[in-house]
Copies of this chain bind each other. A is one copy, B any other.
């Protein structure tokens, strides 16, 4: 019997694409993540419930728990997602950089641009009085922090800069980026360049004045 005239309703997979089970699983996980992003945006973290999220997907309440243990975990997954997407940008800046100044400038600029872009998708309709929830120390976020620290270390020693308290410096830089970034998001027009100039100026200027341990 020839195969030529044979065309089944659903053609067989010629690639090594995973089966339907696997596909719906990743689709569901993504659907829950998307729904969570929207619900957190509209109701805020405290206001949102697991059932608000799952309702948007059309799945049953129990199904949520096949993918995430709790509202907290799905929120962390969103943070992780952001960090995972930001990480390569940071790496690019590290490889482009010739010295501490250029790395800091590039990284700050990348962060503020990233923040501004995310912001469009993210903050839909925050209820008044609710502060955005703390960005938690999720694995990917921790990794980004560690990467910043290591990049600082390498680039500083590459240019034979005097020793400095790296933990404090990293913490301070991230803190400045976050706070100035937050303030930037509230301004119109959203001036990522101005924010970068401020943060970079502060830290670059401060670096030589730091106490030597």
Binding site for B on A (CB under 8 A): 46, 72, 131, 133-134, 136-137, 165, 167-168, 171-172, 174-176, 178-180, 182-183, 194-195, 197-199, 201-211
Contacts and interface: CB of A to CB of B under 8 A. Distances in A.
A172 B176 CA distance: 5
Given A131-B136, A174-B179, A205-B208, 5 more contacts: A172-B176, A172-B202, A204-B209, A205-B205, A205-B209
5 contacts: A168-B180, A171-B179, A175-B176, A202-B206, A205-B206
Contacts of A204: 206, 209
Across the A-B interface, give the 6 residue pairs with the lowest CB-CB distance, nearest first.
Answer: A205-B209, A202-B206, A175-B179, A206-B206, A205-B206, A175-B175
A209 B203 CA distance: 9
A62 B173 CA distance: 46
List the number of copies, as a whole number.
Answer: 2
A176 B203 CA distance: 11
A167 B187 CA distance: 11
A131 B131 contact: no
A167 B183 CA distance: 8
Nearest to A198: B168
A135 to B, nearest CB: 9
A183 B165 CA distance: 11
A195 B179 contact: no
A142 B34 CA distance: 34
A160 to B, nearest CB: 19
Contact of A202 (B46, B136, B182, B203): B203
Contacts of A171: 179-180, 182-183
A174 B176 CA distance: 9
Contacts of A46: 72
Contact of A211 (B167, B178, B194, B208): B194
